[in-house]
Amino acid sequence: MRPTIKDVSALAQVSIKTVSRVLNKERYVSEGVRARVEKAVAELSFQPSAAARTLAGRRSHQIALIYDNHSPHYIHQIQTGVWARCIEEGVRLLAQPSDAASPHLVDEVGALIDQTQVDGVILSSPITDALAALDELERRGIPYVRISPGTEHGRSSSVSMDDVQAADDMTSHLIALGHQRIGFIVGHPNHTASDQRLFGYRRALDRANIDFEPKYVRPGLFDFASGEAAADILLDLPQPPTAIFASNDDMAAGVLTVAHRRGLSMPRDLSVAGFDDTALASQLWPPLTTVRQPTRDLAYAAAALLFEGQAKAVHRRLAHELVLRASTSAPQSR
């Protein structure tokens, strides 16, 4: 049989309450007793039952991560970051894939909370902007932190990067290389980061006194196929762009594929830039110039914020980084 707190208390010759105190790092335990208890715990390799703790106490030592994202790489980074902070805290992580657009989202969140009694929740984009889900969390008084929320920033603690500035930086980089006709592929309309990146692109053009041409902007869905489709249209223009900036790496991969198919040589005939710096970016040919989004660190910071348990909303902004690789250069011809 697995040992219980009773076995520990018997071995250490203290009451079960004292063992509980040591386990929960409560005050008012003398050094000697603490050492005795810890020794007994180690000797029996005792592990407290999560179920009993949850049932008896007001903490469950579990938090949930709710996400809906199509990029395995992004999710993986998020999970890894949150997980790392949870380990430090001795807290279990429940990963809950969801569908931001589903009408059942609220019910799912409610069921998750009721069943598992999680101590807090981390939401990653675009679930961050499912307002009904936020309402539900607040109704139940569950603390939560959002990663890269798009709306109602004041509503909760959050971590984010500056999408506007990042897109501005990348666009400015292309302009500095000498590009004047710069195509842009917008991200998925569900993600508010999409708007922000578009805005950053426009802001950079504006500052450089380059006219904004709507024909150089195409919609996308953050996936490879939509990148291909957009690239085909952009490259069919009478005056095609000399550079294309896609709002994420997957779409940029689509652009590269279309360009290869047309026999273009990158970056000579076309510069291509992405966003995110996923694993893909460095594995494409040519390796992709992109924006490194500090996804893992954002996730870690989000978990840290959750454990800090600030009463009022706190926002942390992490720095992005331009990653210059071989897919961009000065435009060749006129």
Task: Looking at residues 233 to 272 of the shown chain, list those that interact with a copy of itself (rule: CB under 8 A).
Answer: 250, 253-254, 256-257, 260
Residue of 11, 21, 69, 171 that binds DNA (CB under 7 A): 21
Distance CA 248, CA 185 (A): 9
SS (H, E, C) 124-174: ECCHHHCHHHHHHHHHCCCCEEEECCCCCHHHCEEEEECHHHHHHHHHHHH
Residues contacting residue 317 through CB under 8 Å, at least 6 positions apart: 159, 160, 161, 162
Structure tokens, 148 = 């890269």
Number of residues binding to DNA, judged by CB under 7 A: 32
- Which among 50-58, 150-158, 164-172, 269-277 is the span making contact with DNA, rule CB under 7 A? 50-58
Task: Looking at residues 284 to 303 of the shown chain, list those that interact with a copy of itself (rule: CB under 8 A).
Answer: 284-287
CB of 213 to a copy of itself, least distance (A): 28
Neighbours of 311 (CB within 10 A): 7
Task: Looking at residues 186 to 215 of the shown chain, list those that interact with a copy of itself (rule: CB under 8 A).
Answer: none
CB of 253 to a copy of itself, least distance (A): 4
CB of 254 to a copy of itself, least distance (A): 7
From the list a copy of itself, DNA, none, partner contacted by residue 279 (C-beta under 5 to 8 A by kind): a copy of itself
Between 279 and 319, name the residue whose CB sits nearer to a copy of itself: 279
Residue of 40, 41, 46, 168 that binds DNA (CB under 7 A): 46
Between 44 and 210, name the residue whose CB sits nearer to DNA: 44
Q: Enumerate the β-bridge partners of residue 64.
A: 94, 121
Task: Looking at residues 134 to 173 of the shown chain, list those that interact with a copy of itself (rule: CB under 8 A).
Answer: none
DSSP symbols for 252-299: HHHHHHHHHHTT--TTTT-EEE-SB--HHHHHSSSPPBEEE--HHHHH
Structure tokens, 113 = 């909370």
Distance CA 74, CA 99 (A): 16
Structure tokens, 100 = 């931001």
From the list a copy of itself, DNA, none, partner contacted by residue 75 (C-beta under 5 to 8 A by kind): a copy of itself
The residue with tokens 């196929």 is 225
Q: Is 24 in the site for DNA (CB under 7 A)?
A: yes
Q: Is 75 in the site for a copy of itself (CB under 8 A)?
A: yes
Q: Enumerate the β-bridge partners of residue 65.
A: 95, 122
Q: Is 49 in the site for a copy of itself (CB under 8 A)?
A: yes
Task: Looking at residues 295 to 324 of the shown chain, list those that interact with DNA (rule: CB under 7 A).
Answer: none
Between 90 and 238, name the residue whose CB sits nearer to DNA: 90
Site residues for DNA per CB under 7 A:
1-2, 4-6, 13-21, 23-24, 27-30, 32-33, 46, 48-49, 52-53, 55-59
